[in-house]
Structure formats: C-alpha cells, structure tokens
Structure 1
Amino acid sequence: MPNFRDEAPTKTWSARLPAALLTLALTLTACATSTGQPREDGRLLVLTTFTVIADMARNVADGRVEVASLTRPGAEIHGYEPTPEDLVRGQGADLILENGLGLEAWFAQFTEDVQAPTAVLTEGIETIPISSGGYEGEPNPHAWMSPDNAHVYVDNIRDALTELDPGGEDVYARAAEDYKARISEVDDYLETELAEVPEGSRALVTCEGAFSYLARDAGLTEMYLWPVNAESQSTPQQTVAVTEFVREHRVPAVFCESTVNDSVQRSVARETGARMGQTLYVDSLSEEDGPVPTYLDLLRHDAEAVVSGLKEGAT
C-alpha cells in the first residue's frame, strides 16, 4: 500500500502524542462506550475515515446505526493528523470503514490503538495506476469519483453493516439498491450531456490527478498538474506539459479542487485562453450549508461543472 506522506513515521501514533494529551486520551478512552455495545439510543457506532464515505454509509444504514467521520468537512485527507479525540472515538466504535489504496496514510497507525474491526471499501475495484510522479504505478485511490465504482463502495458498505448487524440485513439491502439507483442518475447525465461536447474538447484538466476514474467513465482524456495532493506542488515541467496540452487540444476549460491552491491552474488558463471552470470537490464534502453537503451533491456538482465548462467553452 503506498504511503502518501513524505516519510514513514517511526513510532505509533500514541507514542508521538505529548504525554499530557496521551494521558487525557487514555483516561477518556477508559470511559468510552466499549466496542460492540449499542449507544444509549440503541444504535451501534460506525466511524469512517472521511466525510464522503460517511455520507455513503449513512445512506446505506438508513438510520439503523450511527455513522460519523473522523475527518471534518473541508479536511484534506492525504496528510491528516489524528487527534487524541480521534483515538477516543475509535475506541468507542463498533466498525471503522476506510477507503484503502493508500489514501489514508495515517490509518494503519491509528488502528494500532483501537480494537474496532475495519472494512476496506475499495475491495473489488478495478484500479487505475497513477501515471506520473513519485507514486507512479501505484493505484489511484480516488475510486469514489466514478459512479460505476460507487456501486462497489455501496455493496461493500452493505456487506460490512450486515456482518456487524445481521438483524438489519433487509434494511441495508433495500437502502443500498435505492442509493445505487440515485447514483446511476449522475452517470446517465454525464453520458447524455458529454455526447454533445465536440470529441476534440473532451478533456478533463485538473490540479490533482483525482479524476482518473471519472474520466474513464465519461470518455474524457485526463491531464493534471500533480498526481496526488500529498505532493501538492506542480513542477515547472508538468506546468509546461499541461499548458502545451491545453493549447494544442484547444481545451475550453480547466479546473481545480476545493482543498488546494488554484494559482498555477489559473496561470495555465491565462496562458492558453481557456476558461477557469467551477471549483471541483473530491476529498471532502462541505458543511451542510455549502455546495456539496452530500456525496450525491458532490457527484452532481462536479458533473455539471465539467459539462458546463466543456460545452460552453467549446461553443
């Protein structure tokens, strides 16, 4: 599994905590609800590593279990630093859901200090390798950006919840099928709308290479400034390559993600005459009053932004 941190830590997460914080965390942990026991409202607790899969899990759970994300809305998942509070929450969890494919570089150390079972939601995904940079050849972890792959996530969540709570099998199965039908609507929208974009303009140029799976689904050529946000710095060579690609293929619009600085991409737009498209969302949902409070909102927003940028810029 690739590690998107610059260096592999040499100590467990709890060993790196300041002594006072560690004492507080362990004291609170001793008071936390033990794994496998329902909360006061009778529900089990399922933790996820980030907000996108938390929302997926809530849709499949249909209220039967409590679902919470370790990371907050707007957080950058690759380089997340767990807190003492996270350890307490982990100790009280009955199940933890992770993306896998090296996305959560911190997760292996986090689970050294918790007892809850974990489930990897990318099991069964046909991965796409990262094509450049220090992680070239490793699987691209952003598989949830594909509506097709999202069905695999939902099935894996359904199975994990059913194993945790067999009595809820019918609830999880029904909710999963309903949710997959709504996800498929986004896929249908992309296919229909992108058919109207001239073939030569069907390219998705972004800051992070997080859209390989979406580009594959939609028949778009992918180009990006850096492969993963852990690097989050475009080299002069990559900037030149992207600029030349946009100019040569007359790409009508370029995009950047909400969790990174878009200044380099804006310079590409100025150099080439391309439009700067709407901000895309990948690694995190927004707050409830923001533009993408749910995973379906994220998929719809990004699909509509890409379609709008490519269709309007190509006219």
Structure 2
Amino acid sequence: MPKPLRIQLALWSALLVVLLAGCSPTSAGAGGQGSKPKVLTTFTVLADIARNVGGQYVAVESLTKVGAEIHGYEPTPGDVRRAADAALILDNGLNLESWFAQFVERVEVPHVVVSDGVEVMDIASDAYAGKPNPHAWMSPLNVKIYVDNIVAAFSQLDPDHAEAFAANGRAYQAQLQTVHDKLLAELSALPEAKRALVTCEGAFSYLARDAGLTERYIWPVNAEQQATPQQIAAVIDDVRTAQVPAVFCESTVSDKPMRQVVAATGAAFGGVLYVDSLSEADGPVPTYLDLLRYDTDLIIKGLTGGEQ
C-alpha cells in the first residue's frame, strides 16, 4: 500500500475513534427515537433512488457531491464524520467504488450492496476484461432490482414503516417500467446502420443490451490513465467503418479524447451524457428518471441527425 494512503487511512481510523466515542446509541443520525434514520449512499444516483423508496421516513444523503467522479473518489475525514452517525450505507458494488472496501472497514455501520441479484455483464476489453461492468443502474429494469434491495434494507432498518417502503417501491418501479418501455419504443425506430452507441466510457452496456444497440467506447472504466493513443485509434477505425453519425462523452470526464475522434472521422459530437452523477436541482438531470430521459433523447437526436 502506498505510504500516503497508509497515512490517510491511519488518520481516518484515529478520527473515527474520537467520533464514535462521542456518539450515543440514541443519536439522531443513528435513528434514535423521534428521528429519521440517516442513510448514506456512495453517489447521487443511488441517493435519488433511495429517497423515492424512503419517502418521508428516511433521511438520505450522498457521500459524493454532484459532478464527482465516483470510480477513483478519495474519501476524506469529513466523509468519515458523516458516516459515523449513519444508520446504513448503500453502495452499488460491482467494483464501482474501488475505494469503498477500505472505507467501510473503518466505519462500524451496516451496508447493503444494492446491485445484488442483477444479471451482471462483464467488461469485454482492455485490462478490465472479464470483470463486472459496474454501471448496472443504466438499465431501468436493473434498478427495479435495486429498489427491491432498498425496500428490504429500509424495512429492516425501520420495520414500523415497512408497508410504506413497499408501496413507495412499487410506485417507483412502475415509473421505471414506463421509462424503459418508452426508451425501447423510441430506440427501436433507429435503422440498423445507426444502432451504434459510441461513448468515452463503457458505461452503457446494460442500456445497449436492453435497447439492441452496439456499444463502443474509448476506455472501459474511468481510471487515472485514460485514452491511450491505441484506444483512440481503435474507436476512430470503428466509427469510420460503421459510419457512425454521432459520438458522445460522459459528464464526469473530459471530452477531449472524443473530440479527437470527431476531428478524425467527421462524426458529429452528439453531446454530454449523464451516468455517474446527477446534476444540480436546476440542471438537466436532477433525478435518476430525468437522467434516463435526457440521455435517451440525446442519443436518439444524435443518431438520427435530429430527425426522429
């Protein structure tokens, strides 16, 4: 383990001892009498999904802020303070939060992996080949499974409101199904030659599977070292060969590598897609359902040249 990381983890541990010593069993964050249990999620998308299940009975917060890059996030002592008085932590799993295992070891708070039960797709290329693709939430059908897991976790956390959690979950799952059905209907109108989704990160495997799209990307998972010349050259060849009309990039990374693809191929830059983070409340994707609708509309407009 690198020395700076050892030092940082030691600081977390020391801070946590102090924090836990000062926390009583009936603290408000831990769900004491007359208070809402505090639930912490690893990123903003999960927080929004969890709020739809928890409703008025659970206080949900995201550990990471809007716009944060979740894969390589580095937790801070402030994150430890927030986690110390939480009653539950929800994480995506599937190696999305590479930092989470060390973090949760130092926080004596139960956690639930919300992707449990999803039919996992493996990453198909590069150094990550054979490992699970973590972006399962980009399929509304998968998120119905997330919701079941959150309902079960919240019901165990607060049994008195289990029926409300179940009802909230069913209502939200109906909305997810509606979005999925609309997504499928709109994308099905694309001709076969245009059914290729090219993005910076390989974050759309589950959506592409559900919608019958061919997925191409520059890198499979966001990492410190991104967009090698070989990766860019490979995507340029794919875009030229398939005559892909538009390419895209994600909101949490630089679009410079994809701009190189655009310059070399003449494909249009279709715009910025949201995956790992929601926007601020006044932005284009303040909720997860908004994210799905926004991305779908942008993809269709890009691949059809604006003619739907």
Same fold (TM over 0.5): yes
| Among 64, 73, 80, the residue aligned to 2:66 | 73
Structure 1 residue aligned with 2:215: 222
SS at match of 1:134: helix
Letter in 2 for 1:31: G
| 1:240-264 alpha-carbon deviations (Å, 9 max, x no partner) | 1111111111111100001111111
Identity between Structure 1 and Structure 2 (%): 55
Equivalent residue of 1:183, what SS? helix
User: How do 1:258-273 residues align onto structure 2 when only pairs under 5 Å count?
Assistant: 258-273=251-266
**CA distance 1:13–1:60, change in 2 (3 Å):** farther
Flag structure 1 segments of 5+ consecutive residues without an equivalent. Answer: 1-5
Contact conserved, 2:72 with 2:224, CA < 8 A, in 1?
no
Displacement after TM superposition at 1:166 (Å): 1.2
1:142 to 135, 141, 144: 135
Deviations 1:153-203 (A, max 9, x none): 111111111111111111011111111111122211221111221111101
Residues 210-263 of structure 1 show CA distances to partners (whole Å, capped at 9, x for unaligned) of: 111111011000000001111451122221111111111111110000111111
Corresponding position: 1:291 with 2:284? yes
In the alignment, what sits opposite 1:191? 184
> TM-score if structure 2 supplies the norm length?
0.92
Q: Secondary structure at the match of 1:278?
A: strand
**Residue correspondence of structure 1 range 30-179 to structure 2 within 5 A:** 30-32=21-23, 34=25, 37-38=30-31, 42-179=35-172
Post-superposition shift, 1:313? 6.2
Q: Pick closer, same or farther for the CA change 1:127–1:196 going to 2, 3 Å.
A: same
Q: Flag the 1:123–1:281 CA change in 2: closer, same or farther, 3 A.
A: same
> What CA deviation, in whole Å up to 9, does each residue of 1:49-93 have, x standing for no partner?
111101100000012111111111110001111111111111101
C-alpha contact 2:16 2:84 (8 A) present in aligned 1: no
Would the aligned equivalents of 1:253 and 1:313 in 2 still touch at CA under 8 Å? no
Is the partner of 2:273 in helix, strand or coil? coil
Matched, 1:281 2:277: no
Q: 1:14 aligns with which of 9, 14, 30?
A: 9
Structure 2 match to 1:3: none
Whether the aligned pair in 1 keeps the contact of 2:71 and 2:96 (CA below 8 Å) is yes
Q: Which residue of 2 aligns with 1:213?
A: 206
CA–CA distance in structure 1, aligned partners of residues 300 and 7 of structure 2: 45
Q: Is the 8 A contact 1:196 1:311 kept in 2?
A: no
* Aligned CA distance change for structure 1 residues 112 and 23 (closer, same or farther; 3 Å): closer
Post-superposition Cα deviations, 1:103-130, rounded to whole Å, max 9, x if no partner, equal 1111111112211111001111111111
AA aligned opposite 2:287: T
The 3 A distance-change label for structure 1 pair 105 and 93 is same
CA contact 1:208–1:232 (8 Å) conserved in 2: no
Equivalenced residues, count: 306
Q: What root-mean-square deviation, in Å, do the aligned CA atoms of Structure 1 and Structure 2 show?
A: 2.3
Look up the SS of the partner of 1:62 in the other structure. helix
SS in 2 for 1:153: helix
Indicate if the aligned counterparts of 1:47 and 1:68 stay in contact, CA closer than 8 A: yes
TM-score w.r.t. length of structure 1 = 0.90
Gaps of 5+ in 2: none
Distance 1:278 1:78 in 2: 22
Whole-Å Cα distance in 1 between the matches of residues 102 and 191 of structure 2? 48
Q: Distance in 2 between matches of 1:8 and 1:27?
A: 23
Rounded to whole Å, the distance in 1 between the matches of 2:55 and 2:263 is: 47
Amino acid aligned to 1:15: A
CA drift of 1:270 comes to 2.1
**Contact 1:255/1:279 (8 A) holds in 2:** yes
Relative distance call for 1:234 and 1:168 in structure 2 (3 A) is: same
